[in-house]
Amino acid sequence: MPSPFVLKFDENLEKFTEALERLGSRKEAERAYRSVINKTGTRVRKGVLATLPKQVGLKKKTITKALGKPKKAHGKYKSKAASLEYVLTTKGGYIGLKHFKAREYAWGGVGATPRGKLTKYPKAFIKGGRFPNRKTLNMPGSGAVFRPNLNATNRWRRDFHSLKSDVRIPDEMVTGPSKSVYDREVKSFQPAIEAEILKRLAKAKA
């Protein structure tokens, strides 16, 4: 299941009520919060896109696809109710080893680099035939990393399955450097709200 990252505010918060009183209207207070929520959410997304590739060992375009497009805070529009939350829904389950620079080795297995570290998978394979003339398998899922069922009693009748890493983007977003990005931006949220309120008050007086 997709795991949503949500940056939002609760309108019952004392700080929002204070902003409403200072700015003179709910509409203006919502505009201030909406601006800061979207800017903060955008920085979180950019930060995650910068940290996750190295953190998990994937290309940036793969991470970008997994994150998808965010749903930003917005005012009321036609039939859409106003929203004061930034939602970034991450997608995907455990990622196949083929996405981690997987390659076969002559020692009889496959090496791949989940989280940027080379890990060996004995008895695994990507192609068929004898070395050095191995060929791509003509079957669904070709290019993936496979391993035979090592528990089968008859080695010639073993089935096999594709191998996946223990890397899952929704989990990785809330750990390590990516979590640090989120924590840093959330910490800056309230000071940014205060700066936005002061800017709007100054503009109103001008």
Contact 55, 169 (CB under 8 A): no
According to the model, what pLDDT value does residue 132 have? 73
Per-residue pLDDT tens over the stretch 50-75? 999 999 999 999 899 888 889 898 88
Per-residue pLDDT tens over the stretch 4-48? 566 666 555 678 888 989 999 989 999 999 999 999 999 999 999
Contact 153, 95 (CB under 8 A): no
Per-residue pLDDT tens over the stretch 121-153? 998 998 887 777 788 877 766 788 988 876 655
Structure tokens at 136: 């791509």
According to the model, what pLDDT value does residue 152 have? 54
According to the model, what pLDDT value does residue 2 have? 47
Structure tokens at 73: 């805070």
Cα separation of 110 and 121, whole Å?
5
